[in-house]
Amino acid sequence: MFDASTLIWLVSCMLLPVINSLDNGLARTPPMGWMDWERFRCNIDCKNDPDNCIGEKLLMDTADRMAADGYRDAGYRYVSIDDCWMAKQRDANGKLQADPERFPRGMKFLADYMHNKSLLLGIYEDFGTRTCGGYPGSEFFLSDDAQTFADWGVDMLKLDGCNADKTDMSVGYPTMGFFLNKTGRPILYSCSWPAYTGSGAKTDYKLIAKSCNMWRNYADVEDSWASIYGIIQYYGKNPDNFAAVAGPGNWNDPDQLIIGDFGLSWEQQRVQMGMWAIMASPLFMSVDLRTIKPESRDLLLNKRVIAINQDPLGVQGSRLYQLGKVEVWTKPLQKKSYALAVLNGDNKGTPTKMTLTFGETRFDFNGVYAYNVTEAFDGKPLGIFSAKEKLQVTINPTGIFLAVAVPVPKKDLEHLWNK
């Protein structure tokens, strides 16, 4: 009888000639959708809490709101179930099955419900023997589970890494990607692989990017400013240069948007939306869309900020420098444009004023005389700036300034001067 490591090694040897990369044509821009985990966790008590438990009703209610309230049309298309959706045991044939009480009509019905609303269904599994919540894992069942998801009409798989040997992951995650491709159904593949590589271990992001459409690489987001700020600092440090492999088809995933939940102030909600846009992050809301406040809804639907995130160039933004708790980030956009963010991480004191000189932003002024700058959240025009000109901005504590800079050729400026 082979142990897990040996079996995975034998399978990888057989598949090695055909596992090249994840070739599914998906995620050309960062995927957008909704995921239940941060807001609803592993609530399986549908008897006493039928509106909020992980079950058919919650997912259908969410799909209804995404279709009716503008989220789908803004680009949020995946409705993704995290852990705790399964029955505790596989069926007699070894197949995964949904909990029959919470999902009485099964996952195929739920996928069809999403598709009828022009939405997509995401689902969760784990590379190990059990999921993080203790449900059946995919170890020894990678091929069968991939085909089951395809047969159900699933459009996205998040594959976690609890209860697994991390030394197997460099083989196991690509193997699941191979089996997903083999089904013939395009299934967005979200991996938790780098989140389990271990403290201090170097992560081979080029290998991960060959196998996954998106991947978690840091701690789970919590409903707090400390969590959001910690994630931003990790992305600012950019260990193992993970930003370099981000681009169409492959994205670093700092985890779900908690905008509209309980832990963030209004300024901090703007920070998460703006920084997730700058970082070219997948945008997966985790909020009750049935009760969300209008201002949070409008923030999630902000077309100008979403456009920064969805820019087809697909470059992950980077931190230029820090001055105490204030930091400056830029993200190159298509057509020589840029997004510019100034983040104030200080949660005490008064608003901070900062003067930006555009020649220090690393904008490309080659062939560009100046940039036309617009504040991103509200669309307020800020003016036209050459490399030597300065812009003074004010950033509230735990707040953000976010702008888009579009190049203005010299001939266009001459036209304006001649008016």
Q: Please tell me whether residue 98 adopts helix, strand or coil conformation.
A: strand
We report the CATH number of the domain holding residue 386 as 2.60.40.1180
d(CA 394, CA 79): 37
Query: Do residues 120 and 238 both lie within one domain?
Result: yes
* Chain position carrying tokens 């707090």: 224
Confidence of residue 1 (pLDDT cuts 50, 70, 90): very low
* 50 and 84 belong to one structural domain: yes
pLDDT at res. 116: 98
Same domain, 112 and 256: yes
Overall average pLDDT of the 365-381 stretch: 95
Last residue of a domain, one of 291, 309, 327: 309
Residue with the two structure tokens 């159904």: 185
Identify whether 160 is a catalytic site residue. Answer: yes
Mean pLDDT of 295-323: 98
Mark whether 333 and 255 lie in a shared domain: no
Considering its fold, how many domains does the chain have in total? Answer: 2
Helical residues (DSSP H) of 301-385, grouped into ranges? 303-309
Q: Which residue range is the domain that position 56 belongs to? A: 4-309
Q: Using CA atoms in the order 60, 64, 65, 71, what is the torsion angle rounded to 10 degrees?
A: 110
The reply to whether 288 and 326 lie within a common domain is no
Each residue's pLDDT tens digit, 4-42: 444 544 455 455 444 445 779 999 999 999 999 999 999
CATH number for 205 = 3.20.20.70
- Same-domain check for residues 182 and 294: yes
Straight-line distance from the first to the last Cα atom of the chain, in angstroms, rounded to the nearest whole number: 84
Of 258, 287, 309, the one marking the end of a domain is 309
* 0.85 surpassed by pTM: yes
According to the model, what pLDDT value does residue 198 have? 65
- Reported as half-sphere exposure (CB side, CA atoms, 13 A), residue 76 has a value of 29
SS3 370: strand
67 and 215: one domain? Answer: yes
| Given the residues 82, 126, 160, 288, the one annotated as active site | 160
What span, in angstroms and rounded, lies between the C-alpha atoms of 36 and 289?
Answer: 11
The helix (run of H) or strand (run of E) holding residue 66 is helix 56-68
Percent of the chain with pLDDT over 70: 92
> Whole-angstrom Cα distance, residue 354 to residue 324?
12
Confidence (pLDDT) at 91: 98
For residues 399 and 317, what is the distance between their CA atoms, to the nearest angstrom?
18
Residue 175 pLDDT greater than 60, yes or no:
yes
Clarify whether residues 303 and 323 are in a common domain. no
> Looking at this protein, which amino acid is placed at residue 193?
W
What are the tens digits of pLDDT across the range 36-72? 999 999 999 999 999 999 999 999 999 999 999 999 9
Q: Is the pLDDT of residue 313 over 90?
A: yes
Question: For residue 279, what pLDDT is reported?
Answer: 98
**Crossing angle of the two packed helices 106-116 and 56-68, in degrees rounded to 10:** 10
Could you list the beta-strand ranges (E) of 96-253: 120-126, 156-160, 188-191, 214-216, 251-253
Mean pLDDT of 209-233: 97
Tokens standing for 147?
A: 């085909």
Q: Quick one: 206 and 349 in the same domain?
A: no
pLDDT for residue 81 is more than 60: yes
The residue from 144, 220, 223, 412 that is catalytic is 220
User: Do both 13 and 118 map to the same domain?
Assistant: yes
Q: Which of 274, 309, 344 is the last residue of a domain?
A: 309
Residue 220 annotated as catalytic: yes
Same domain, yes or no: 293 and 377:
no
Task: Starting at the earlier edge strand, list the strands of the sheet with 214-216.
Answer: 251-253, 214-216, 188-191, 156-160, 120-126, 78-80, 32-35, 283-285
- Please give the average per-residue pLDDT across 147-165, as a whole number: 97
Q: Is the per-residue pLDDT at 102 higher than 90?
A: yes
Same domain, residue pair 196 and 222 = yes
